[in-house]
Amino acid sequence: MTAPAAPAASPAILEALAGRRHADGRTPIWFMRQAGRSLPEYRSLRERAGVSMLDACLDPALAAEVTLQPVRRHGVDAAVFFSDIMVPLRLAGVGVRIEPGVGPVMDAPVRTADDVARLTEHRLGEGSGADGRSNAEGVRAIEQAVRLVVRELGSPVAASEPGSTAPGGALSERALAGLAESRGEAGWSPVIGFGGAPFTLAAYLVEGRPSRDHLAARGLMHADPAAWDRLMTWCAELTGAFIALQVRAGASAAQLFDSWAGSLRPADYRKKVAPYSARVLDVAREAVSPTTGARVPLIHFGTGTARILADMRDAGADVVGVDDRTEIAEALDALAGSLTGVGPVQGNLDPALLTAPWEVLGDTVDRAVEEGRRAPGHVLNLGHGVPPTTDPDVLTRVVARAHGSADWERAALAGWDGIA
């Protein structure tokens, strides 16, 4: 399947998400969880700041800097906004914290119809958090952080004005080269916003913390359909508003993460979950990005979702993310059963291979790029997030391989210059 070439002035990743091949043949790439834990400069910044994960997400300058770090270092085709799927819960006044080594923990799990009724009285940006900070201030912090990132990465308008996209502050030549690699011929790099899908949010709310089987959430789904509907509708509206917030601040694409959807039977997913994910995508699709002056492409990603990829597409996704348990060819065959047909895909390098010898990893990147050519559009990514122990220089080399850039591979092999 050969897609028509697009003008080189548009970022390769936006062309791929639209189902078109970039004129220069470049395969765009970004990494889930690229902003954060795998980078020494991130760990150094967090240590200096001395703040919790959720507080870091609500510090505009800090969140913007962390978002930009992997773009400067790796030359990836887009920045993914540094935040967490728990942030909108916090900004709606829900008691939640992220415990190191555990993950999100709720102050009060939502287990009954009365619990759901109390929860759904909360609204994004209303009230204040346990620290006394107004949630409206937190919403403004998200907007400001996205705008700061867009200011450094540029826009179609800024790209046409020489010098207007120069990043603020003193950056090393290596960091400037990373920004240039990311921008490519388009002269600017998009920002990807994101949010957690309703089922994943509901699973955390009901379980109260991470779970292997989500038994309590699945139990509520079947035991009290009315409470489940109310809970899922609230989660959909909340995360839809959170994604739309990022888009209106300047994000040029967005991804809906449904981390736990793979734990469901396909029939339960279609009936009890997909309609609410569709609502998120509907809300997000109404937002217009000032960066592009248009509505943005929406990616739908989950793990263990091979059996429901077509359903995820039919929920309204422009692009479906493929995890590392599913071959791209298998995913395309599954998506052929979608009511809207096969669309662009994203994925799906195995994160475990990041520790393999380069001969193995490099060949795997080549195969993934080649397999992706069967799709109308393909964005290379991992099949899950970057492991925290990953060597950052390996990620940079993967980007160079995907881009087919010998110059950028030499920069990867030379290593990072230590700017923090």
Q: Residues forming the annotated binding site for substrate? A: 33-37, 84, 204, 259, 384
Q: What 3-state DSSP class applies to 46?
A: helix
Beta bridge partners of 369: none
Q: Is 30 exposed, middle or buried (0-12, 13-18, 19+ CB in 10 A)?
A: buried
Beta bridge partners of 105: 97
The answer to whether residues 298 and 253 touch, using CB atoms and an 8 Å cutoff, is yes
Residue appearing with tokens 């009936």: 271
Residues in binding site: 33-37, 84, 204, 259, 384
Q: β-pairing, 103-106 with 191-196? A: unpaired
Compute φ and ψ for 253, nearest 5 degrees: -160, 170
Q: Say which residues have a Cβ less than 8 Å from residue 392's Cβ, sequence separation at least 6.
A: 38, 39, 40, 73, 74, 416
Q: Say which residues have a Cβ less than 8 Å from residue 76's Cβ, sequence separation at least 6.
A: 29, 30, 31, 34, 70, 182, 399
Among residues 340, 336, 343, 338, the alpha carbon closest in space to that of 321 is found at 343
Amino acid at 392: P
Beta bridge partners of 302: 258
